[in-house]
Structure 1
Amino acid sequence: MNPRRTDLLAAGAATVSVVLWASAFVSIRSAGAEYSPGALALGRLLAGVLVLGVICVVRREGWPPRSAWRGILISGLLWFGFYMVALNWGEQQVDAGTAALVVNIGPILVALLGARLLGDAMPPRLLAGMAVSFAGAVAVGLSMSGGGGSSLLGVVLCLLAAVGYAGGVVAQKPALAQASALQVTTFGCLVGAVACLPFAGQLVTEAAEAPVSATLNMVYLGVFPTALAFTTWAYALARTTAGRMGATTYAVPALVVLMSWLALGEVPGVLTLAGGALCLLGVAVSRSRPSVKAGGDGDGGGSPIPTAERPASSGAGRAD
């Protein structure tokens, strides 16, 4: 496939992921008020597994090869399981500003781990874009903070969620060289659901008492921000570096501002709008490519060849 077309498809898939992940925050407000962190994570993952499992059967995807299972297991435990529970719990303990500051360390950790473990390049444009986006994310979080205060437990949980997210992405990357995006997502989601089974009792009890709207929001979280968004994310991740994909998620705070405005009538202030604009600007910078000069790749991150198609010696052969 033409490298430029591959890049466009990967960018489109990444866009689907960040839009759906941004929409998840609106649904979590409803579901999170009725479901505890572990029960919400389990319900979301079960809905996701059901949808993904049906698609796998229809497409006759089969089981991933043995070589992919290490990455699937690690990403399933860290990202689908641990991250979702820790984030749900942490955001109940801290205000929005603290959550934005701590959780948005995740993409930076993705870039650092990708460089250390996968040999991904860290070009100046990526680093500059992530710095701009991080500043924007913090501005959005601070401007939308309800002033409810923060606890040490909440800060630690958000930090652990960021670490789990980063570790899950970096672990997922090598698996995508051995298995399809649908296989990696389906079985990673299944691993996360199994890890969350201790919360099954809470889920049953709370589902019996929760309003239909909260349960429908939980199902939505499983079908779209989980089943669909994680699959399109895996598709894009297989075709670029972990660092660039991590930087893409900085578009989420800006989209949350827009969706909260449209869906909830929450009119953003000047600082919120400025922060959202910085997030989008940083993503644009981090994903931009320098002019490729003869005999070189510019800043080292401008090669139009997707990571998954580069020789194994690049360090990216077979990871948010």
Structure 2
Amino acid sequence: MMNTIGNRPRTLATGAACVTVVLWASAFVAVRRAGEAYSPGALALGRLATGALALGVFWAVRREGLPPRAAWRGILLSGVLWFGCYMVLLNWGEQQVDAGTAALVVNIGPLLLALLGARFLGDPMPPRLLAGLAVSFAGAVTVGLSMTGGDGSSLFGVVLCLLAAVGYACGVVAQKPALGRGSALQVTTFGCLTGAVACLPFAGQLTHEVARAPVSATLDMVYLGVFPTALAFTTWAYALARTTASRMGVTTYAVPALVVLMSWLVLGEVPGMVTLAGGVLCLAGVAVSRSRSRGGRTVRVAAGEEPRPERVA
């Protein structure tokens, strides 16, 4: 009985992480479809406004109040960098490359997160992390070259996805300390609202495009706001507050495989073999960076955390 009670928080965090992975994978497909009718900025604003509304209702019902003052710096930074910049860049990138390729490139985000943790939080930079970064970078270059067309637009899309990964990594680094001061719902709600405010310059485009867009594209935008944003970012924050950033980063490695499967079933898109090989290199680099040292000690570089010995669950 005691063991069951003790395992409950870990089980809930794992379940929340799984919900996040599935919904974020579906977001790549929905963005690809909605992007046929909406420009990148308008789609980001519509998604964030929908998400902020859904989160705001839940926040009001829960009566959690405003986040503490110490959490606002992280909320504002993650709101602008992750909710705002990341979504605009991802939407733009997916207009140039297929959903599976976008997911493969964005998935180097956990490695970038580790680098930023070393630079701004004082985390160590072990040789395995550097080697993994080099392998993942080679994978990203392979994906970029495989997608390059005569006009270079696909390569530009890969660059946009890389920049989106940077926004994701910076957002997580900023969000992690905020979750130590505010609740997952508070941090997510006001982070999403911050991202929506940052995207207000696209309000004119959204107003113009929503009047002309097909209903299916608008429904995709609403879906993105309610599920991959409001729900998935909350479950992410819930799990991140209860585990390490490294463990959470590992869960996102399943996203590209799910995206390739979903994009094949829904969109009929499957990346070519060279593109897939580049994606494998990206994931191999992550695996190298997380591999065990000779002493049996797992190297973990995460936002705001010190490396610690591997513990058996």
Quickly name the TM-score band, shorter chain normalised. 0.7 to 0.9
* TM-score between both structures, scaled by the size of structure 2: 0.78
- Evaluate the alpha carbon distance shift between residue 97 and residue 61 of structure 1 in structure 2; reply closer, same or farther with a 3 A threshold: closer
* TM-score between both structures, scaled by the size of structure 1: 0.76
Instruction: Give the Cα–Cα distance (whole angstroms) in 1 for the partners of residues 136 and 11 of structure 2.
Output: 22
Letter of the structure 1 residue corresponding to residue 298 of structure 2? D
Letter of the structure 2 residue corresponding to residue 34 of structure 1? A
Note if 1:89 corresponds to 2:88.
no
Instruction: Give the Cα–Cα distance (whole angstroms) in 1 for the partners of residues 104 and 255 of structure 2.
Output: 14
Question: Which of residues 33, 36, 41 is equivalent to 1:33?
Answer: 36
Letter of the structure 2 residue corresponding to residue 70 of structure 1? R
Structure 2 counterpart of 1:79: 82
Structure 1 counterpart of 2:188: 185
| C-alpha contact (below 8 Å) 2:82/2:170 kept by paired residues | yes
Post-superposition Cα deviations, 1:140-184, rounded to whole Å, max 9, x if no partner, equal 8888x5957534754553333222111101000000000011110
Post-superposition Cα deviations, 1:112-135, rounded to whole Å, max 9, x if no partner, equal 222443455778998898888888
- Evaluate the alpha carbon distance shift between residue 243 and residue 117 of structure 1 in structure 2; reply closer, same or farther with a 3 A threshold: farther
**Displacement, 1:28?**
1.3
**Displacement, 1:279?**
8.2
Letter of the structure 2 residue corresponding to residue 150 of structure 1? G
Where 2:195 maps in the other structure, the secondary structure is helix
Instruction: Give the Cα–Cα distance (whole angstroms) in 1 for the partners of residues 260 and 145 of structure 2.
Output: 12
Structure 2 counterpart of 1:209: 212
**Displacement, 1:83?**
1.1
Instruction: Give the Cα–Cα distance (whole angstroms) in 2 for the partners of residues 56 and 99 of structure 1.
Output: 32
Instruction: Give the Cα–Cα distance (whole angstroms) in 1 for the partners of residues 279 and 247 of structure 2.
Output: 19
Note if 1:69 corresponds to 2:68.
no
Post-superposition Cα deviations, 1:87-110, rounded to whole Å, max 9, x if no partner, equal 212333457797567533322111
Structure 2 counterpart of 1:242: 245
The unaligned stretches of length 5 or more in structure 2 are 309-313
Question: Which of residues 171, 174, 179 is equivalent to 2:174?
Answer: 171
- Within-5 A mapping of 1:51-200: 51-93=54-96, 99=102, 102-119=105-122, 150-151=152-153, 154=157, 156-200=159-203
Where 2:36 maps in the other structure, the secondary structure is helix
Note if 1:20 corresponds to 2:17.
no
- Evaluate the alpha carbon distance shift between residue 131 and residue 250 of structure 1 in structure 2; reply closer, same or farther with a 3 A threshold: farther
Note if 1:218 corresponds to 2:221.
yes
- Evaluate the alpha carbon distance shift between residue 265 and residue 300 of structure 1 in structure 2; reply closer, same or farther with a 3 A threshold: closer
Instruction: Give the Cα–Cα distance (whole angstroms) in 1 for the partners of residues 22 and 216 of structure 2.
Output: 21
Where 1:249 maps in the other structure, the secondary structure is helix
- Evaluate the alpha carbon distance shift between residue 264 and residue 33 of structure 1 in structure 2; reply closer, same or farther with a 3 A threshold: closer
| C-alpha contact (below 8 Å) 1:45/1:222 kept by paired residues | yes
**Displacement, 1:50?**
0.6
- Evaluate the alpha carbon distance shift between residue 278 and residue 196 of structure 1 in structure 2; reply closer, same or farther with a 3 A threshold: same
Where 1:88 maps in the other structure, the secondary structure is helix
Post-superposition Cα deviations, 1:14-64, rounded to whole Å, max 9, x if no partner, equal 211111011012211221000000000000000000100000011111100
**Displacement, 1:195?**
0.5
**Deviating more after overlay: 247-256 vs 110-119:** 110-119
